[in-house]
Amino acid sequence: MLLRSNDISDLSRIFRLNLINSISGIKPVNLIGTTSKKGRENLAIFSSVVHLGSNPAQLGFVMRPQGEHLSDTFQNINDTGLYTINHVTESFVKKAHYTSAKLPDETSEFERMQIEKTFIDGFAAPFVKQSPVKIGMKHLENISLPNGCFLVIGEVVLLEVEDSSIDDKGQLDLSTHNGVGVSGLNRYYQLQLIEEWPYVRESEIPNFDE
């Protein structure tokens, strides 16, 4: 299949949505936890969390275009300045997927999907208790993107990681806790470590002709 821009525009809406959401490959799966000013807890799945820098430690994620009524996640982050990012594993990926449903404001996804929450070190936003990687975030800014979306940027202010998944160099092995990835909007994949190579210097590049 060869598609040019006009061909892509002519695709049916659902086919185009599924295709374009899939072509970026496997993406991370995270649950973002927030609390409203009224104390209502919210949990939503995101596949757009990206590393922005390690010093200071910053992560970003993409919010869809917002109407007059902001999504609970976006509203809560803007109001409170705090949120959590929680890795998803095979053990609760189905529950995590269904947090994408639009629920009434008074309904907590933690309760509706029976996902256990926890609080760490006085941090005001809720974490997913079962998640092996829990990240507490402080909101820094929102950047408007050309398509109407927002890049939400935050600083890592708290981190809890299972000892068994981190090596002596600080690297996480996501396969040790059965982490998952997603392609498109609803196809989930197992993650498995294939190989590890050193940091690349030109003098150490192998001879690929051999």
The CATH number of the domain holding residue 84 is: 2.30.110.10
pLDDT at residue 36 in the model? 94
pLDDT at residue 105 in the model? 82
Regions of the chain short of the pLDDT cut 50 = none
Residue 160 lies in a domain: yes
Residue 90 lies in a domain: yes
| Residue (of 54, 117, 97, 90) closest to 174 by Cα position | 90
Residue 7 lies in a domain: no
The β-bridge partners of 85 are 32, 135
pLDDT at residue 193 in the model? 87
Residue 38 lies in a domain: yes
| Residue (of 90, 88, 85) closest to 134 by Cα position | 85
Buried b (16+ CB within 10 A) or exposed e, 37-55: eeeebbbbbbbbbeeeeee
Say how far apart CA 181 and CA 30 lie, in whole Å. Answer: 9
What is the number of domains present in the chain?
1
Residue 182 lies in a domain: yes
Which domain does 120 fall in, by range?
25-192
Residue 188 lies in a domain: yes
Say how far apart CA 14 and CA 6 lie, in whole Å. Answer: 16
pLDDT at residue 10 in the model? 95
pLDDT at residue 133 in the model? 96
Residue 9 lies in a domain: no
Residue 168 lies in a domain: yes
Count Cβ atoms within 10 A of the Cβ of residue 178 and give its class: 0-12 exposed, 13-18 middle, 19 or more buried. middle
**What pTM value is reported for the model?**
0.93
pLDDT at residue 186 in the model? 92
The DSSP secondary structure of 107-143, one letter per residue, reads --HHHHTT--EE--TT-SSPEETT-SEEEEEEEEEEE
Question: Does residue 74 contact residue 141 with C-beta atoms inside 8 Å?
Answer: no
Instruction: Give me the residue label for tokens 């509203």.
Output: 75
pLDDT at residue 142 in the model? 97
